Each structure stands twice: as C-alpha cells, then as structure tokens.
C-alpha cells in the first residue's frame, strides 16, 4: 500500500514522488531546500531507472527500487496525510 499524500513533520512540506527515477548520489540538503518542488530544477539530479521511485521533501530524500516499508527509516519524519 502506498500513500500518495505523504507529508514531512520536520519541514512541514508535502513529499513529492517521481516514478521511474532515483536521486543522484551528489544530492544534498541545500539542493532540495532550494529546488523543491520544481521538477524542472530537480531533474538535474535525477537518474532514469524503470520501476524505481524517488521521494523528497525539503529536508529528506530517498530512492526506492524495491518494495520497502518507509517506516524502517527512523530518520524520516514522513506521515500519510490521508488520515
């Protein structure tokens, strides 16, 4: 089950998700702070990868390429906004 309305409780920003992309390893906090949620700017550090998904808010980001429980990432402060 995937929530498409994740929200970060740390930066109070909606988590964006991008299908078939992963984040480049050079991504850092300032990149997301300055470029979220502008896809045209974020794309500079995105890599096409079929079946993967790139997630990001203004303070955290993850690339997922297999079924993963995001709750296992203790440092993420993402909650589903549907509830």
Q: Where are the domains of the chain?
A: 6-63
Question: Where does residue 12 fall: left (phi above 0), alpha (psi -120 to 50 degrees), or beta otherwise?
Answer: left
Write out the two tokens for 18. 């991008």
Looking at every residue in the chain, the average pLDDT score rounds to: 89
Contacts of 9 (CB under 8 A, 6+ apart): 77, 78, 79
Using the predicted structure, report yes or no on whether residue 83 has a pLDDT greater than 60: no
Cα separation of 82 and 41, whole Å?
Answer: 28
pLDDT in tens, 54-71: 999 999 999 988 876 766
Name the percent of the chain lying above pLDDT 70. Answer: 87
78 pLDDT band, cuts 50/70/90, is confident
Q: What mean pLDDT is predicted for residues 15-22?
A: 95
CA of residue 66 relative to chain centroid, distance: 15
Using the predicted structure, report yes or no on whether residue 81 has a pLDDT greater than 90: no
Write out the two tokens for 60. 């955290």
80 pLDDT band, cuts 50/70/90, is confident
Contact 43, 35 (CB under 8 A): no
Indicate the pTM of the whole model: 0.85
Cα separation of 76 and 51, whole Å?
Answer: 22
């Amino acid at each position: 089950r995937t929530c498409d309305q994740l929200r970060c409780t740390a930066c109070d920003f909606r988590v964006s998700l991008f299908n078939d992309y992963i984040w480049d390893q050079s991504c850092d906090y300032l990149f997301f702070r300055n470029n979220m949620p502008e896809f045209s700017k974020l794309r500079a550090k995105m890599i096409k990868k079929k079946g993967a998904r790139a997630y990001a808010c203004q303070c955290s980001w993850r690339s997922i390429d297999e079924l993963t429980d995001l709750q296992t990432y203790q440092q993420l402060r993402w909650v589903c906004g549907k509830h």
